[in-house]
């Protein structure tokens, strides 16, 4: 009987300690907000921007335009926004002719973009959708900081 009680108590302690650690995932130890881009392993090409094909650049520029329009309209239809953005990422993926290190670096920023767009398309939680939009804007800015035609 005592071993079962010990295991149960250990599970409760582990569960509650993990739960409290997850509460501040967007803050560092001294209280600064951590951006999604802070977690990327995105680098420069020997100090220069990586070169991308025209379709990739066009697709990301279109994503930025879709977001700007969404914000100008003060819309809260995040699912529709996600669907529009998904069309742009599909265009990028379908037309990507990149290879090598530049392609690998593009994936460092593109994969999190796809994740955030999925949240926009699927979430019924307004706070999560707004957070995903902010993250996506940060990722797009990281793209423009690290990539060019």
Question: Is-contact 123 132, C-beta < 8 A?
Answer: yes
Q: Which of 61, 111, 118 is nearest to 86 (CA)?
A: 118
CA dihedral 82, 83, 85, 87 (to 10 degrees): 160
The predicted structure's pLDDT at residue 16: 39
Asked if the structure places residue 32 within a domain, the reply is no
Asked if the structure places residue 117 within a domain, the reply is yes
Q: Which of 131, 123, 116, 113 is nearest to 77 (CA)?
A: 123
Asked if the structure places residue 14 within a domain, the reply is no
Asked if the structure places residue 16 within a domain, the reply is no
Asked if the structure places residue 13 within a domain, the reply is no
How many H-runs (helices) and E-runs (strands) does the chain carry? 5, 2
Asked if the structure places residue 123 within a domain, the reply is yes
Asked if the structure places residue 115 within a domain, the reply is yes
Is residue 34 very low, low, confident or very high in pLDDT (cuts 50, 70, 90)? low
Asked if the structure places residue 18 within a domain, the reply is no
Question: Is-contact 37 138, C-beta < 8 A?
Answer: yes
The predicted structure's pLDDT at residue 31: 47
Number of structural domains (the chain) is: 1
Range of the domain at 100: 37-148
The predicted structure's pLDDT at residue 46: 96
Query: pTM score, two decimals?
Result: 0.76
Angle, helices 100-122 vs 126-146, to 10°: value is 160
Q: Is the dihedral of CA 109, 107, 80, 26 positive or negative?
A: negative
């Amino acid at each position: 009987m005592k071993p079962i009680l010990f295991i149960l108590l250990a599970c409760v302690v582990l569960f509650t300690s993990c739960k409290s650690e997850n509460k501040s995932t967007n803050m560092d130890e001294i209280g600064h907000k951590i951006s999604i881009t802070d977690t990327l392993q995105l680098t420069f090409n020997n100090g220069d921007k990586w070169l991308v094909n025209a379709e990739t650049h066009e697709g990301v520029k279109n994503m930025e335009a879709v977001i700007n329009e969404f914000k100008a309209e003060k819309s809260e239809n995040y699912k529709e926004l996600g669907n529009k953005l998904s069309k742009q990422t599909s265009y990028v993926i379908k037309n990507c002719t990149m290879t090598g290190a530049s392609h690998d670096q593009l994936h460092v920023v593109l994969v999190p973009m796809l994740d955030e767009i999925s949240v926009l398309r699927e979430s019924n939680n307004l706070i999560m959708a707004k957070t995903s939009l902010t993250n996506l804007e940060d990722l797009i800015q990281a793209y423009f900081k690290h990539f060019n035609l």
